[in-house]
Chains A and B, each alone.
Chain A
Amino acid sequence: MHVFVVLAVFIAASVEFVEAFTIVLAAASVRGWRPAIYGTLAALVALVALVAAFGYAILALFPLGAFRALVGIILLLFGLKWMRKAILRATGRKALHDEAAIYEREVQTLRSGGENAEALSFATAFNGVLLEGIEVIFIVLTLGGNAGMLDSAILGAALAFVVVLAAGLLLRAPLSRVPENTLKWIVGVMLTAFGTFWAGEGIGIHWWQQDVSIIVLIALYALLGYSLQRWLQPQAPQGAL
């Protein structure tokens, strides 16, 4: 057991797990836990299958850049859609809670046998966990493999997973008290920021201070969203209850 390898992997993997957990939490807060958990589980199964099938060869075979770009673009599109809707709701241009529309939508859902929002939530959680999971696998295999201490690297990643999961579960209760549209506004900002970062990374942009740029992007998108909200000016709410 090598303490420095455990620590190095713990820190690096924690960053990736925090990012993955943020995405899952965002997906769950919009459409409930079920599709988000299904998306997470499906991604975990895919990760286990990838490692079982390729082992170390995954480092050479997997086109991480292209995958980052694809996931980034998907999150960017979802995030922008949520941000736009939340801004329209906050300024009264879209109903905050329209029971008739909700009823109609549920009826349509039953007729069509599916719900786009659930598919969106599933896909968001799946993509986020798959991308971050692959990055953790790369960290474990490169740091642990190069040092000849794979067991230490796996321990570091496992500890990071447990710590981030525990911290995330503690955050659930306070998050549930945030008003629905505010939560969706925040989710939109977060997904757009993550999407911008990953899409940029995937196409070869060298971000300032790497993952720290995500925090800067979140701040910039929050500022942009707030400014656009002010620019639109509030209207009387449409059918809000």
Chain B
Amino acid sequence: MRKVWDVIVDLIYEDPWQFFGPLVAVAVLYFLAQSVTAAWLGIVLFALVGLSLLLSLRRER
């Protein structure tokens, strides 16, 4: 259990966007998927995960 916690702390410490971004993306898409069944939801999920990666790299520029 301690190792799992260490990994989570590592992820947040390196950059919060890479941890919270995908979680928020999946949560938003979960609520959308309850009412919409279109395949473009997959593209939205990809876009939100991609945005998380972009934001986590932004301060390195």
| Interface window among A10-18, A172-180, A195-203 | A195-203
Cβ-defined contact, B33 with A196, below 8 A: no
**Does A137 reach chain B (CB closer than 8 Å)?**
no
Cβ-defined contact, A77 with B39, below 8 A: no
**Does B50 reach chain A (CB closer than 8 Å)?**
yes
Give every chain B residue within 8 A of A213 (Cβ-Cβ): 42
Cβ-defined contact, B22 with A73, below 8 A: yes
Cβ-defined contact, A199 with B45, below 8 A: yes
**Does A205 reach chain B (CB closer than 8 Å)?**
yes
B29 to A: closest C-beta gap in Å: 6
- Secondary structure type dominating chain A contacts: helix
Give every chain A residue within 8 A of B39 (Cβ-Cβ): 205-208
Chain A residue at smallest Cβ distance from B48: A196
Contacting residue for B30 out of A87, A196, A203, CB 8 A? A203
| Interface window among A36-44, A78-86, A150-158 | A78-86
CA A119 to CA B9, docked complex, whole Å: 14
Q: Provided the pairs A116-B3, A208-B42 are in contact, do residues A196 and B18 lie with their beta carbons within 8 angstroms? A: no
Contacting residue for B26 out of A199, A206, A221, A232, CB 8 A? A199
Contacting residue for A204 out of B11, B30, B53, CB 8 A? B30
Cβ-defined contact, B10 with A203, below 8 A: no
**Does A136 reach chain B (CB closer than 8 Å)?**
no
Residues of B1-35 contacting chain A, CB below 8 A: 3-4, 6-7, 10-11, 14-15, 18-19, 21-23, 26, 29-30, 33-34
5 closest cross-chain pairs (CB), A and B: A204-B33, A203-B30, A208-B39, A119-B3, A76-B22
Q: Residues of B at under 8 Å CB distance from A?
A: 3-4, 6-7, 10-11, 14-15, 18-19, 21-23, 26, 29-30, 33-34, 37-39, 41-42, 45-46, 49-50, 52-54, 56-57, 60-61
10 contacts between A and B (CB under 8 A): A80-B56, A87-B57, A114-B3, A200-B42, A203-B26, A204-B34, A205-B29, A205-B45, A206-B38, A206-B39
Q: Residues of A at under 8 Å CB distance from B?
A: 69, 72-73, 76-77, 80-81, 83-84, 87-88, 91, 93, 114, 116, 119-120, 123, 192, 195-196, 199-200, 203-208, 213, 217, 220-221, 224, 228, 231-233
